Amino acid sequence: MMATVRNMYLFARTAIFRVRTINLPRRTLSQLTHKQFRSGLACGGVTKLVGVYNYSTEKRPSSVGLADELLSAKVQQDTKDKPKGTDEGDPDSEKEREENEKVRRTLRWTFISFGVMITGMGGFLLWSCGSPELGPDGQPIVDEFSEMPTVQQYLLRTWKGMNDMNRMIQEPSRDKLLPDPIKPPYIQPPYTLVLELRDILVHPEWTYETGWRFKKRPGVDFLLHHCGPPLFEIVIYTNEQGFTAFPIIDHLDPNGLIWYRLYKDTTRYVNGKHVKDLSCLNRDLEKVICIDWDVDAVSSPRNHLKVKRWDGNMNDQTLVELGLMLRTIAESEVSDVREVIDYYRTFDDPLAAFRENQRLAQEQELAVKQRVEEEHQQKKFTSSIISSFFRRN
């Protein structure tokens, strides 16, 4: 009796150790009935029954006991009884198949509808763009495609229309952006000043109270009055749309100092960016100065004078300094402004360099005045001595 109890105790410890080692489900052992447990002991003892737990990792011995058979069958039955979502007759599997079928059907009809829409749009494009133009009498006008087959005519006319549209977007809207210079007896300013609107004269700002609005930069009035006619003809050349920029310019310039306004349609579209083409201004580039903060926004770098981009700071005095600089250039009657711009372009801050040059020029002028004054005083003193000498004689 004591030997049997000791064998059962050793069997239980060894079995639990084996279950933990090979990660077999522990419930398998608990599902064995007491009778099966005793049968396993009778057929093979502790060693026979424990060997079953090596079933999944070790090679099954040639002769097994009853407990081995029972446990192996139970493990296989548990594996077969696991739920599978793809089994036939399973409500969840049936519902999943229905949902997948519904998704496939929706995608199929979506692609069909998309194809029909694209085909219809393509057909309408060919019919509207590929048909020949009609004359006043309602008859088709003969062009270079009229002698070709009908399908080829429509295709080539559509292709030409698309190229024309692309060229219209990329090229300026006209070859001459400004009219010809004014003839005498009217006064044509000798220089042309081209100004960007956004972040040079105004800055867009959004708040909860006001929404989007444009702030006027300090010094705008000073710049327009000191650089307006008769020194410069002022042109606004901006990348903004006309319906956005037109009322802003009206508000900035109630006195009409800005002569011309050029908008986004007059720019040239290059490498994904709208560029101001100064060669289309119909003006001599030796007399043109363009003010912008973006170095890539102007086609002629030698005519571009870069200033700092305004971020809305109301203490900014850039336009005041710029007005003084431009007025100095105009009053100096420079023959080619590009030479002046080439010089100031070598500085990170052209306006700061201009201020320094102005300071040095004032110091030199003051020194010259002092020297002239000293010479005058010396001559006056000498003449007084000579006059007094002759009076004595």
The rounded distance, in Å, linking the Cα atoms of 117 and 123 is 10
What pLDDT band is residue 29 in, cutting at 50, 70 and 90?
Answer: very low
pLDDT of residue 148: 85
Terminus-to-terminus CA distance in the chain, angstroms?
A: 167
Please write the tens of the pLDDT for every residue from 292-309. 999 899 999 999 999 999
* Mean pLDDT of the residues in the chain: 79
Mean pLDDT of 187-211: 91
Looking at 84-238, which runs of residues are DSSP E strands? 191-195, 202-207, 211-216, 232-237
Mean pLDDT calculated for residue range 266-271:
90
pLDDT for residue 58 is more than 80: no
230, 204 contact by CB (below 8 A): no
Average pLDDT for residues 345-364, to the nearest whole number? 89
Write the CB contacts of 84 (distance below 8 Å, at least 6 apart in sequence): 90, 93
Residues of the chain with pLDDT > 70, as a percent, come to 74
Here the contacts of 32-37 (C-beta below 8 Å, separation 24 or greater) are 32/67, 32/70, 32/71, 36/66, 36/67, 36/70, 37/67
Over residues 117-134, the mean pLDDT reads: 84
Contact 269, 170 (CB under 8 A): yes
- Residue 340 corresponds to which tokens in the numbers above? 């002046």
What pLDDT does residue 60 have? 45
Q: What pLDDT does residue 185 have?
A: 87
Q: What angle do CA 259, 261, 267 make, to 5 degrees?
A: 140
pLDDT at residue 18, rounded to an integer: 46
Checking if the pLDDT of 45 tops 80, the result is no
pLDDT of residue 138: 79
- Is a pLDDT exceeding 90 seen at residue 192? yes
Which pLDDT value is given to residue 179?
A: 94
When pLDDT is cut at 50, 70 and 90, the band that residue 50 belongs to is very low
Higher pLDDT, 144 or 309: 309
Cα separation of 93 and 81, whole Å? Answer: 16
Q: Is the pLDDT of residue 42 over 50?
A: no
- Tokens 């030698």 map to which residue? 302
pTM for this entry: 0.61
288-292 and 304-306 strand pairing? parallel
pLDDT value of position 382:
73
Are 308 and 203 contacting, i.e. CB atoms less than 8 angstroms apart? no
Cα 24 versus chain centre, distance: 59
pLDDT at 27: 45
Q: Is the pLDDT of residue 20 over 50?
A: no
pLDDT of res. 283: 95
Contact assessment for residue 303 and residue 191, using Cβ atoms and an 8 Å cutoff: no
